[in-house]
């Protein structure tokens, strides 16, 4: 599929996105954290193509905002950091059929 933005054409594949989604979902927490920047990038793009409103994905409880919280606040050095709720939100909000 393609879309055009500012005279630039971008190409993406739904099946590749779906495969990437499943890869993120199947990662261990450690692997997910190692790929956190890629997860944020993925979340931004999926929110865009799914037309998830910004007030949903960017609000304090939205997936993009929550992933940035992980990047900013933890879990480096945190002993009580629970990645579970963010991983669950990722799985629910970014699911691709």
Q: What pLDDT digit, counting tens, does each position of 9-44 carry?
A: 988 899 999 999 999 999 999 899 999 999 999 999
CB 33 within 8 A of CB 83: yes
- Confidence band of 78 (pLDDT split at 50, 70, 90): low
The domain segmentation of the chain, as residue ranges, is 2-93
- Which residues are CB-neighbours of 10 under 8 A, at least 6 positions away? 2, 3, 4
Which helix or strand (DSSP H or E) is residue 10 part of? strand 8-11
pLDDT at 72: 84
Per the listing, tokens 């699911």 go with: 95
Distance CA 74, CA 9 (A): 36
Cα-Cα end-to-end distance for the chain? 16
| pLDDT higher than threshold 80 for residue 79 | no
């Amino acid at each position: 599929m393609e879309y055009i933005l500012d005279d630039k054409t971008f190409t993406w594949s739904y099946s590749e996105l779906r495969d990437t989604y499943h890869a993120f979902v199947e990662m261990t927490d450690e692997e997910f954290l190692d790929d956190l920047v890629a997860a944020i990038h993925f979340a931004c793009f999926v929110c865009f193509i799914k037309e998830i409103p910004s007030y949903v994905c960017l609000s304090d409880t939205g997936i993009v905002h929550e992933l940035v919280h992980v990047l900013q606040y933890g879990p480096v050095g945190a002993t009580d950091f629970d990645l579970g709720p963010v991983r669950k939100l990722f799985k629910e909000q970014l699911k691709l059929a």
